[in-house]
A = this chain, B = another copy of it.
Amino acid sequence: MKLNETDLKRFDDDGFLFLPGLFSEDEAQMLMDEAQAIYKQDREEVWRESSGVARTAFAAHTYSEPFRRLGRHPRLVEPVEQLLGEKLYMHQYKINAKAAFDGEVWQWHQDYGTWARDDGMPEPRAMNIAVFLEDVTPANGPLLFIPKSHKQGVLEAGHDLETTSYPLWTLDREAVSRLAAEGGCEAPIGPKGSVVMFHGNLVHASPPNISPLNRTIVYLSLCAVSNHITKFTRKEWIAHRDFTPIESLEDDCLRELVDNRAAVAAE
């Protein structure tokens, strides 16, 4: 899948691109069923909120067939190859739960800030893809973006080890307010299967989920192979060290699993 001129300009201007319904509802539901099975597993890659409910499952593409396929899906990999101009490897892969009532805040941050400081990634030639596995509404803790903030480079940040259960380099209010005065603050809202691609320097956050609706999102962080990380301070299943270029699968690679499951269920 290739982005058109309008998409390319929007990404360049705003630092993100929202693609509602890029995956079908049944493709998203199949991945959601798999995510729920993963969250039940007792493994080190699954992190939990202080309440015990799952917050994040890391590196599911290495131990789950549906998520392996999602990590090589041409609707995700090819647009990022197009934007970064070379082959990619998977720098990070996580399934964030943001559970009903319990899902905690992610403070304002840039992902590349963490990749540079913690992982020694040379340039912001990496970016994120968010795949909604459940409907994202104004009620259930949507991602918030400051459009145009990706043009500011790496902003000064403090290492927050307290307010969330995942250490993060976060920005101060003055910086966020200043950027929002120019770019505003937007929350892409859409049905399960929708996708947001966003620049590694785009300032973003998400509020707690106080609603009775879960809100699970998969995040792929794809990095240009030549821009691979140089410091190995985090677990290898958090900041990956396998720089093998990703080869895309066919467009129907998830559809095939949906159809297989339907066939099994019908037997």
Return A161 CB to nearest CB of chain B, in Å: 18
Cα distance A125–B105 in the bound complex, in angstroms:
37
Cα distance A212–B141 in the bound complex, in angstroms:
15
Contact of A212 among B139, B185, B187 (CB under 8 A): B185
Q: Which of A58-66, A67-75, A77-85, A172-180 lies at the interface?
A: A172-180
Contacts known (A205-B210, A210-B144, A212-B180); A185 close to B139, Cβ less than 8 A: yes
**Chain A 85-110 per-residue mask, 1 if CB under 8 angstroms from chain B, else 0:** 00000000000000011000101100
Cα distance A185–B136 in the bound complex, in angstroms:
12
Return A214 CB to nearest CB of chain B, in Å: 11
Closest to A102 in B: B173
Contacts known (A144-B139, A185-B139, A187-B137); A177 close to B100, Cβ less than 8 A: yes
Cα distance A209–B206 in the bound complex, in angstroms:
10
Most buried by B among A144, A176, A210: A210
CB of A242 within 8 Å of the partner chain: no
Inter-subunit contact A137/B185 (CB<8 Å):
yes
Contacts known (A100-B177, A180-B213, A213-B180); A139 close to B208, Cβ less than 8 A: no
CB of A193 within 8 Å of the partner chain: no
Interface of A is mostly: loop
**Chain A 156-192 per-residue mask, 1 if CB under 8 angstroms from chain B, else 0:** 0000000000000000010011011000011101000
Residues of B within 8 A of A153 (CB): none
Contact of A138 among B108, B142, B209 (CB under 8 A): B142
- Count of this chain's copies in the oligomeric assembly: 2
Residues of B within 8 A of A108 (CB): 210
CB of A248 within 8 Å of the partner chain: no
Return A190 CB to nearest CB of chain B, in Å: 11
Contact of A189 among B100, B138, B177, B205 (CB under 8 A): B138
Return A140 CB to nearest CB of chain B, in Å: 8
The 5 closest A-B pairs by CB, nearest first: A138-B138, A138-B187, A180-B212, A177-B212, A139-B187
9 additional contacts, CB 8 Å, given A144-B211, A185-B213, A207-B209?
A100-B177, A101-B173, A137-B138, A138-B142, A139-B186, A139-B187, A146-B212, A179-B212, A207-B207
